[in-house]
Structure 1
Amino acid sequence: MSIEEYKDVWVFIEQREGEIFDVGLELLGAGRELADKLEVNLCGVLLGNNVKNSAEGLYAYGADIVYVIDDPVLENYRTETYMKAVGDLVRKYKPEIFIYGATSNGKDLASAVATEVMTGLTADTTMLDINLEKRLFEASRPAFGGNIMATILCKKHRPQMATVRPKVMKKPEADFSRTGKIIEEDLGLKEEDLQTKIIDIVKSAKKSVNLEESDIIVTAGKGIKDEKGMAMVKELADTLNADLGASRDVVEAGLIGHAHQVGQTGVTVTPKLYIVIGVSGAVQHTVGMQNSDVIIAINNDPEAAIFNVAHYGIVADAFEIVPKLTAELKKALDKEGVTTNG
């Protein structure tokens, strides 16, 4: 089949118990830009049980068409059922581009669908674009330990697919005046025909920290060196009622747990304020925080790459400037009668 027969940009809309995940809405924003460049429709793909009523809400975030398969068999995510549903939709409607959130389920589904329909997949991308001259989807991701950005193309197969990490793309402002079209399809599977059965669902305990939802983050980098340095950074974080982040070097040194790691191998964050101390600014880290509203970097190297993404930079020894900054903040907050964690 000719690749010219494929058109439209699709986004997998992940949901659980009827609640739409933000990553799907973020990708609709990114997908809208891709679809506009290609002059095609932006389509959402919504699977589940009793989810049809959620479909129309996707128009507000950019969708022109929403493909819905509403079936009790899709109540909970299973590779077997979701791969069948998405594979059937792809073969019937032939999307040119298909993007998924790089969540546990999104990554599992995308790789299964790529195998099912025999196409390529770029994982954990952070930048998406279109080469209009060749009509190719450019999916870029950090490579070689985050030292370079690699742009990966799928020239001979369709759809062109990628997973995108949550929080990398900005969720668009909702426009509830937009309208669209719903296309419903049947799954054609019965529970008794399936090889996988869901016996029980165990919900894990909530992490002690959820940086993806933090408004203020203070992050320690390799320059912090030891526990004394971490205590200094934590005092600043406590003063600001902020959460504590860390680079990969700090986590690997055993100074803090992996749940605090920001970057390619950690979490992607978009706080209102991101203060980064002693981080050089390798791509591995910056891809995880570059969309923060305000970034303040403290580093003693004026040539550090972190200053390229920072809105404000302080060239100084962190062990001299951070305690002074913390002390001044405490004074200012005391005058305002603000309670801190310190």
Structure 2
Amino acid sequence: MSSGIPPEQAYLLDHWSTTLASLITLSPSAQNQFHLHITPMITHSPSLRSAICFMAACHISVLTNDSKLWEKAAQYQNDAISPLRRPVITEPPLVSLAIIMMLQITDRLFATKSGVNHLQGAKVIIEQAGPKVWDCDAGTFLLTLCSHHDAIGSVSRRAPPILSLGGSVPYLEGMKPMRGLKILWATIGQISSMYSQDRALLDAQGKTIEIALQTLTTYASHEGDVGHTIHACKEAAYIYLHRVWHNVGAPHPMTLKHASDCLNHLFEVPVSSPLVSAHPWPLWTAAGETIDGKLRDRVRERVKEMYEKRHLPSLLRLGEDIEDVWKVKDKERTSTGIDKIDCVQAILTLRQRGVDLI
């Protein structure tokens, strides 16, 4: 892969290959899906190579505290984006979407503030290419990445998903354990869409989603890390649904139970598990609604362990945002006895940015 390329790029690609790809994968399968589907494209696309070098440079700069690497990262970012800005995109659709998703992941994990709406770009490429292009393992993997980022991004934006892929993306053989997660992502997108729902239809939509969540018991009954992760996400989805539907949160007993169950399932998954890459959203959702001091301390320790394992700045911001939300919500409950505060809106007000949930 590194034959014939500059030493700096070889160094960054080695970090991607040996370290970074394993930190961002979601799938608990034996073979890393990024290596299986994305890495082979690098040899044919300098732009994709630049996108991956961009991500690797950002991560190594965090590990080494080397500010010069941030400057290098910006150069690689520009090299990766350049072909996507041209009137005619010369890269094949699969490669173009791979570039966009590498940029999207880097933006979310490292807050690079590119000012580009990558999911809007993904939407254009997906629609222009047509369904046959994505009818392959690499296409399915890329659409899975899109559906995850689209659903979780809709939570942070408090708006409907951009891509609206729903649960229609097929399942790769190596990612079958994630089937329940993909259904949950589609459900999360539906809950986010309720923000723009007509009030007359809101109850019907809420009841439909509640029934759908109840049917996920089969997936949540998986053993091990997969079962705990799906169960935690299902509990977080209940919290999110009732916050959007009824604006109900702690100290309501139902919310406290969902939050406790969610967190306890997350705590059962080792921080070394690939599935922990899917944990920031349920952790945020449940942590924001817990008022139990011991659970809060375990949340603090969990976020610290996640960061020490991955060294992704998004996890540091997640911990800071959770602390801010606790302060705001505790103050509200002390003064009024109830909690009508939307966690995402609280961070938007305090920090003038969205929450990092990837």
Q: Which has the higher strand share?
A: 1
- Asked if TM exceeds 0.5, the reply is no
Band of TM-score, shorter chain: under 0.3
Q: Which has the higher helix share?
A: 2
Decide which structure has the larger Cα Rg and report it.
1
Q: What TM-score, normalized to structure 2?
A: 0.24
